[in-house]
Structures are given as C-alpha cells and as structure tokens.
Amino acid sequence: MTVLFLVFAILSACFSYNLFYPVYKHPKGVLISFLSGWLVGELVWHHLIIQVAITLLFVAGGVVEGFWGSLGLLILLVSWWGMTMYHLQAAVAEQEVEDSLIKSLGADYRQTFRDGIHNHADKKPSRRELARPFASLRSTNVELIKNITYEQVDGFNLKLDIRRAKRSVENAPVLFQIHGGAWTYKMGSKNEQGIPLMNRLAEMGWVCVAIDYRLSPKATFPDHIIDCKKALVWVKKHIAEYGGNPDFILVTGGSAGGHLSSLLSLTENFAAFQPGFEDEDTRINGCVPFYGIYDFLDEQGLQYHKGLEDILEKSILKSSKQANPELYRQASPINHIHKKAPPFMVIQGNKDTLVSTDETRYFVEQLKQVSENPVVYSEITGAQHAFDVFPSVRSEHVLNGVVRFAEWLYSDYINKQTKT
C-alpha cells in the first residue's frame, strides 16, 4: 500500500509538472498533455481537494510511513504547491487582456460603452461558478431556442440554436458562434462550446447564434465553411424575427471553430465558398477566434508536430499538401488576409499543446501589417487549449476582455451609423 501511495504522489507530480511544461512535439503525447493540463489547470482546487482527501485516507490506513511514505508525502506537498502557484498565475490574465485591448484600441476605448455595460465587462467570477463550473453553464436569464433548421444537405438537417435575454430585445447585436472539435464527428458540437460567452452577451441584450455544420470524415473541405456561410446567410435573413440586427454580426469560435470563424471573416463573398449562393452578402463586423489554426500548409514551419497534417490529409481535405498545396492555401485564413479585413481579437494560450502559439503570432503579425482595422492579440499565460469551455478564474478574465472588445466594436458601429 505504501508503494501505491508513492505512485499516487508521482502521478500528482506529473499533473503539476505538465501545467508548466506540457508536451508539444509528440503527436500522441500532446493529447494526453492537453487533457491533463486543461482539466487540472482550470479545475485546480477540485483536484487539490480530491487529492488531499485521498491522502488523508492513506494516512488513516497507516500506509504513509517509513522512507517511501515520507518521500511520497514530500512529493505531494511540492506538487500541491505547484498547482497552487499555477492557479494564482491565472489572475495575470486580467491585465494581459486589458493591456492588449489598450494597445490596439487606445486607452480610452471604454468611453463609448453603453450604460450598464461596465458591470458586465468587469464581472468577477463568483465562488459558486468556480465551485460548480458545469452547473454554471445555464443562465436563468437567458432563453434558449434549440435546433432551428437553416439548411438541408444530403438528407441531413443543419441546425442552429439561438440564445437571447428573456426580456424583449429588438435590433440587438448578434454573436455568431462556430464550434470546434477538429472538424470531426463526435469531437465537438454547438451544445457545449462558447456557452459562457453566449450567456453573458445574451444577458446584456445580444442575440447569440450557435450553429451546426457538416463534419468529417463524411464531409470534405470546403463543406465545413460552405455550411458556415449558409448559416450566416440564414441569420442575415431571419435573425430580425428573433430580435437581432442582421447588419451587426460578430463571429467567434474555438480551435476548428477559430479556423472557420477566421476564414469566414476573411472570405466575404468568396465564390468558391458560396456555390449556388455567390450573390449573397457574407460580410461580418468582427471576429474573435480562440486558439485557431491559420495556416494548413505550414509554410513557415511553425507547427509543433504532425498531428494536424495527418488529420487534414486523412479526414478533412483528403489530400496531401504535397499533392494539392493550393487546396491547403485556400483553406488557410492567413492566405486570405486583405486590407479591408474586419477587426479581430485573437485569443491564444501560451501553453496550448494542440495549436502552435508561434503560428498564431505570425498570423497576427501578417494581419496587422495588411489590415486597416484594429487587431487585438491576447496571449494568455498558462492557458491550455479549450481553457474557456467552462468558468474558471482565467477564462472569466478573458471573457470580460472579449465582452469589452465586442462592446467597443458595437459602439463604434453605432457611432458610425449615427454620423451617416
């Protein structure tokens, strides 16, 4: 039993070590590193409580004794100290996001906010939300309208959900959420991603739309982006019926959704992605991609491992980049950057093992050089992939920053409408 206790202590130490030094290079190791870093990193106190309880059971059983027992206890104490330091580090996200907004939008960017917005844009995470993060994904102030069909393709109904305040809204700004999950069936859906952001904005009076799209391996690119464009067209035509303003749409998404939201934003009215509806207007007002993929061809050699290349070749594009480099370029947001690109707020964690932070930085640099509109880049210390899926100290600080960007963008839109 003492050996079992030692193994338990070493496992805890591995969890703690991975928070600060995740695996970046090994295609399979990165998945384990991601899952561990995500669930431990954003649920540190939950893990600490469980580990302390297990340790007390070992102590009560009389197995924490002798050299090996003492060594195990020492390892646990060091591990717990590391987890605690990581948790405290999450607080720096508040200043990191604010600094990035000021750098790109100016120190006075908040002055145009609507009345009452500051309370939503600087909200502190409650103890209840942090203690029960998954229970907090529902809001009693938000109405959820599920599974509205926006398109039928190959006998399959593509659907979307709408979230809005239970109070009456009219001509409200619209958030358009595209889920991630490696563009792959059963890896992600509209039902569990982007919820904290959608709930917060819906409570503020926004109308939020979360969409389905065809998924691989059955779907082959550009099916995914075509469906996103069709959903956007539906929103422009019908969202007024639900209280939204079709002339103001902010697009967001994480991971594969970060890729698709960026691609959607940079390819307005791009005929190859709008077959049969080339004349429809697919312009949007802004984009907030979370930990997206921006260069499928990896022309700068910035990706950490071959995992992305393998899934693109086998399941998503179904062609190698050597055989069809132009297809890879066409699918990459970085190759569609232009001077009229909408304002961007790019979110990336510096401990992300699935998406290259170096690639994200390069994308942002290229976007800033070409675009005439603001580009905000928020690189979050300690953040792993998917860190924003449920409430945590880190994710709530970032969410506040995204809310501030969204409100700045909407205020800018209102001011321009007033002048005209």
What positions carry a catalytic annotation?
255, 352, 385
Tell which residue, 136, 221, 210, 140, has the closest CA to residue 180: 210
Residue 1 identity? M
Cβ atoms of residues 211 and 150 within 8 Å = yes
Residue 39 identity? L
Tell which residue, 413, 340, 332, 347, has the closest CA to residue 371: 340
**E strands within 93-225?**
142-153, 156-165, 172-178, 207-211
User: How far are the Cα atoms of 11, 22, 55, 85, 262 from residue 229, in angstroms, in the given order?
Assistant: 46, 36, 53, 43, 12
What distance in Å separates the CA atoms of residue 179 and residue 177, rounded to the nearest whole number? 6
- Beta-carbon-side half-sphere exposure of residue 91 (alpha carbons within 13 Å): 4
User: How far are the Cα atoms of 8, 245, 283, 370 from residue 375, in angstroms, in the given order?
Assistant: 46, 24, 17, 10
Cβ atoms of residues 196 and 120 within 8 Å = no
